[in-house]
Amino acid sequence: MDNYTARMSINAACNSLDQIWIESGVSEDAVSSHIQVMIPGETACFCCATPLAIVEDNEADIKREGVCAASLPTTMGITAGFMAQNTLKFLLEFGELAYCLSYNARLDFFNNYRIMPNPECKDRECVERQKEKAKIEGVVKKLENKKLREKEEKNKKKEIHEQNQWGIELVQDRDEEKNQEQGKNEISEEERKNESLDDLMNKLKGL
């Protein structure tokens, strides 16, 4: 997809069919881009998010006068790679899914966030999906719950490992214990130095 009108058409169809859409775009100057996972009713659709939503189906309004859309193969390649990787993560359920990843090529800066759907989205089907998804465990909730379960499993395994099933304990060596006990009763050299002369005299008298 390389234009606003086509994106809006696909967006409307996906909202209507409750079809997940993974989209990407590169800016006009080709030094920033984004990838976005759109799950109808659960994440912002193409129409939900500003600034595109404020433009009412008129592509001319979002194209600046005299600006020719640049094409930088490296930015395109990086963006395509990230989109393919993110799609694999979603399909094969590994790692953290990037719901909306933006890339600034000038600074090599990435920003990763999730945009919630707009309850006042101009796409009626988007609003309908939002109402439906509020009542069920959708894709996002399922992924979050899966992550929670995995975390709990990991913690459980850690506990088992720490306690160990054979009840083996690490005990202190008896000689070591004895030495420590003796050490407690002995006055260290440092403590001796700090004793006042009077204290020492009193101790001598008591002998």
By the rule CB under 5 A, 121 interacts with Zn ion: yes
Applying CB under 5 A, among 38, 47, 83, 101 the residue interacting with Zn ion is 47
Rounded to a whole number of angstroms, the minimum distance from the CB of residue 57 to Zn ion is 14
**Bridge partners of residue 35, in order along the sequence:** 24, 101
97 versus 126: smaller Cβ distance to Zn ion:
126
* DSSP character at residue 83: H
Compare residues 14 and 121 and give the one whose CB is closer to Zn ion: 121
The residue whose two tokens read 């809006």 is: 8
Q: Does 38 bind Zn ion (CB under 5 A)?
A: no
Query: Nearest approach, Cβ of 133 to Zn ion (angstroms)?
Result: 12
Kind of pairing between the strands at 109-113 and 21-26 = unpaired
Q: Binding Zn ion by CB under 5 A: which of 26, 37, 126, 140? A: 126
| 68: annotated active-site residue | yes
Exposure class string for 154-175: b at 16+ Cβ within 10 A, else e: eeeeeeeeeeeeeeeeeeeeee
* Composition of the chain by helix, strand, coil, percent to 5: 50, 10, 40
Q: 117 and 139 in contact (C-beta within 8 Å)?
A: no
Q: Stretches 19-27, 46-54, 86-94, 143-151: which one binds Zn ion (CB under 5 A)?
A: 46-54
Under the phi-then-psi rule, with left for phi > 0, alpha for psi from -120 to 50, and beta for the rest, what region is 66? left
- How far apart are CB 123 and Zn ion at their closest, in Å? 5
Task: Give 38 or 97: the residue with its C-beta nearer to Zn ion.
Answer: 38
| Cα 68 to Cα 93: distance, rounded to the nearest angstrom | 39
Q: How many residues bind Zn ion (CB under 5 A)?
A: 6
> Using CB under 5 A, which of 45, 98, 100, 140 touches Zn ion?
45
Which CB atom, from 101 or from 121, has the smaller least distance to Zn ion?
A: 121
* Residues ≥6 apart with Cβ < 8 Å to 129: 15, 18, 40, 41, 42, 117
Minimum distance, C-beta of residue 86 to Zn ion, in the bound complex (Å): 20
Catalytic position from the list 14, 48, 68, 126: 68
Q: Where on the chain is the footprint of Zn ion (CB under 5 A)?
A: 45, 47-48, 121, 123, 126
